[in-house]
Structure 1
Amino acid sequence: MKILLFLVGIVLLIGVEVARVYYIMPFPGSQVDEVVELAYFIQNYIWWFRIVGVLMIGYPAFFYLVGNNAYIKWTVASMLAFWIIVCYAFNFQFLADKMFYQSESVSLLKAKDSKIIDNQLVIGVSLNGKSRAYPIEIIGYHHQVRDTIAGQPIMVTYCTVCRSGRVFSPLVNGQPETFRLVGMDHFNAMFEDATTKSWWRQVNGTAIIGPLKGAQLTEITSQQMTLRAWLSRHPESLILQPDPKFKDQYETLAKYDEGKMEGSLEGRDSLSWKDKSWVVGVPMGLFARAYDWNELVERRVINDQISGRPILLAVEADSASFHTWVSVAGMDTLQFLLKDSLNVLIDQQSGSRWNWNGKCESGKYAGSQLEVLPSYQEFWHSWKTFHLNTERFIPPKAKEND
């Protein structure tokens, strides 16, 4: 009876430590099923499991360790040692916030003083005339960076496994909230708020479990492009600088922008419509559409409609900075093409010239400004997982050949 009690107790103690981390970290098979509720249950009752387990093994362990049977004594001691090793590993090495630390200080500099090279990808935010640029290879390690722009607190987030960048207001029920990286769900980073311990998805700012389940963080408009492209629009922008304490960690993402990292989690599949292919996703109310990055870079301009609303997607000459606009000026719906020799956009209706800010510089619509639409570059597996209603953009020629 004592040996059975000890074995059940030690399996319980080891099992809950492993399961608590396994279900919310990218271990083989862990991100496929709907297990976040189980993971949350284990997380919230972990100390009860530990107490029960220790009570189960306490007396049997003492009995066998002071006994005369050397084989049983060393077997029990070895199992206890293994449990201690598991506890250490799964509480101090494999937990998300023990692997990815937050920067203790946020340093932002103007372009003339910045250490960031201008072809790096950034998440750009502009509020009330103040602009900031956050390099992806920095926020990609930290997963979140907190800042304040024009008196407004913001939370810049990025998940490298989904290739998803989002910016949120860190206010919950009107009060400032603190978040920590707790793990991931369906390969997307999850944050835990300090007040209610609810878990929030990075890709859409939704609380998926806990007391605040269903609550939504307010998203703040942001754009992804190269630093050079961002500074051409916002020359006075401040730029987030690397924290010297994390130099080695940043270097692990040195090839992330270009999609040249190796590995199944953050590496890119250069083919189209594979799980790790790049897409640009455009949400529009109840509708969403994904555009193959290879197709977009090749064509550079795509005219389309989503739910009857005309849109324009365009990629700059750097093949990295992309834009999405509503292609309407006044009451007119426009179709665009690219004038390569001038590096400007031309609407086919009037021949007016438009710059890469979506503003008409000359012609019939001079002074008109196209409305910017939210759009995101992501891995295809991420976009289709969190936009179940998404459609794939199929070029007209491809449709004819189907």
Structure 2
Amino acid sequence: MGEQGHGSRRSLAESSWGDPSDTMRPGAAQVHRFGWRRMALLTFVLLSVGAAALALLSDSTSPEWTPVREPENVRFHESRFDRKPDLFLSVSDPRVVPSSLATLNDDDEVLGLVVGDEERAYDVLALAYHHVVNDTVGGRPVAMTYCLICSSGIAFERECDGRALTFGYHGIWNGTAVLYDHQTDSKWLQISGECIEGSLKGQWLKPINCRHTVWSEWLAAHLDGTVMQTQREFADAYFPRSKTSRGNDFFPANFPSTMQYLDPRLPVSALCCCIRIGQETRAYPFSALAQLEGGVVNDVLGGTPVVVAFNGDTQSATALAREYNGETITFCRTADGYLKDLKTGQEFDLEGRPRNVEEASGLRKLYTLQSEWYGWAATWPETTIWNRARG
């Protein structure tokens, strides 16, 4: 019922909740058998799965669907938080090595970003424990963040209110990670970068486009970059790599009580490429993208023409604005993975850089991340869902 990633992660209704003796590595939550709250949640999901299957290819703006618009005092009620500050320890100014010296395997997952002329990848094995890495890339203060359970990774600029903040792990809200900043102890949603508590409440961190892919794909396009691998002082805290990949059949016992609302339009753990432009948000399910020849979607969101590129082999997706030199472009995919303008033949890589064109600006990057459906829908309850009928 769930999406296929690196291994099959089933929906919450199908997932194994584990045995009391099945624990993760130090600093992580223990998995327990069913309790009454989890049984109630399971019943809800089972009832919704049938509707979700039918809704997979339906437009979320259809009359059958009404988004839940909860007031703030309900949405951020204390009962929806599980607060365990620094249960996972963030890292600042991590050690990095040239990509040519990395010891990663081809299929190891990474989150990669390009800031200015600097390219950097982060081993998901390390991110899964730290949840946030306070770094400087291309001369800019950057926070690379990751939520292991909802498979969402996104980077933000750390500058806010005239200063550079550093972040740590605070807990979970609605089954997604919550961060705090060390300077003011304000609380921030990891998926959106919104400050929801503290003196900086109402501020938003500026997102930086990054790609969740495998090492071989990232390395092929970024040979001159650097990579953050595991940090030796945390060696005993890291989880086994098998528990950190997208698709793990795992849900900590402390999550369901915080997830008081689940959007039934897709399976809980369906992997999606998610985009936000202004106040408009949309999820592109991997299962739908996998049905497309070339894995390319030419779409419009928030008045902006966008292109989504999906690679079924690596289970990765990215999105860019499809406007170049004042023209709106319609793309297809080349055999070697580039985006090709159907009109002019000009090709672009997945960072939006034009191929064989020196000193030229590229396609604009967007607020894009990969996430499991429940995390994205909890953060953006009015999100639409792409379907083939759109384009």
- State the TM-score, normalizing by the size of structure 2: 0.69
| Larger-Rg structure | 1
Question: In the alignment, is the contact (CA less than 8 A) between 2:90 and 2:134 conserved in 1?
Answer: no
Name which of 166, 173, 181 aligns with 1:193: 181
Say what the alpha-carbon RMSD is for the aligned residues.
3.7
What amino acid does structure 1 have at the position aligned with 2:179? F
Partners of 2:151 and 2:246 within 8 A in 1: no
* Of 102, 105, 117, the match for 2:105: 117
Q: What one-letter code is carried by the residue in structure 2 that aligns with 1:262?
A: D
Alignment match, 1:346: 340
SS at match of 1:224: strand
Structure with higher helix content? 1
CA distance in structure 2 between the partners assigned to 1:285 and 1:316 by the alignment: 26
Measure, in 1, the Cα distance between the counterparts of 2:338 and 2:117: 25
Query: Aligned residue for 2:268?
Result: 275
Residue 300 of structure 2 corresponds to residue 305 of structure 1: yes
Give the match for residue 373 of structure 1.
366
* Pair 206,371 (structure 1): closer, same or farther in 2 beyond 3 Å: closer
Aligned 8 A contact 2:214 2:314 in 1: no
* 1:236 aligned counterpart, secondary structure: coil
CA gap 1:203/1:104 in 2 versus in 1, 3 angstroms: closer
SS in 1 for 2:282: strand
Q: What is aligned with 1:232?
A: 220
Q: Determine if the alignment matches structure 1 residue 165 to structure 2 residue 153.
A: yes
Q: Which of 332, 355, 372 is the matching residue for 1:337?
A: 332
Alpha carbons 1:25, 1:96 under 8 Å: kept: no
Partner of 2:251: 264
The residue correspondences of 1:15-164 to structure 2 (distance < 5 A) are: 34=74, 36-38=76-78, 96-97=84-85, 99-103=87-91, 106-164=94-152
Structure 1 residue 189: Cα displacement: 1.4
Q: Compared with structure 1, are the counterparts of its residues 156 and 358 closer, same or farther at alpha carbon in structure 2 (3 Å cutoff)? A: closer
* 2:126 counterpart letter in structure 1: I
| 1:377 shift after superposition | 0.6
1:326 equivalent among 321, 331, 338:
321
8 Å contact from structure 1 (residues 233, 357) kept in 2:
no
Gap change, CA 1:143 and 1:302, over 3 Å in 2 = same
What is the identity, as a one-letter code, of the residue corresponding to 1:273? L
Structure 1 distance, partners of 2:79, 2:185, is: 13
Conserved 8 A contact 1:26-1:184: no
Asked whether the equivalents of residues 279 and 302 of structure 2 are also in contact (C-alpha less than 8 Å), the reply is no
Q: Which has the higher contact order (CA 8 A, sep 6+)?
A: 2
How many matched pairs? 314
* Rounded Cα–Cα distance in structure 1 between residues aligned with 2:198 and 2:302: 34
Whole-angstrom CA distance in 1 between matches of 2:31 and 2:279: 30
TM-score, normalised to structure 1, is 0.67
Point out where structure 2 has 5 or more consecutive residues left out of the alignment.
1-28, 42-72, 254-264
Please give the alpha-carbon distance, in whole angstroms, between the structure 2 residues aligned to 1:358 and 1:168: 19
SS in 2 for 1:376: strand
CA separation of 1:257/1:346 partners in 2, compared to 1, >3 Å: closer, same or farther?
A: same
How far apart are 1:231 and its partner, in Å?
2.7
Deviating beyond 6 angstroms after TM superposition, the runs of 4 or more aligned structure 1 residues are 24-28
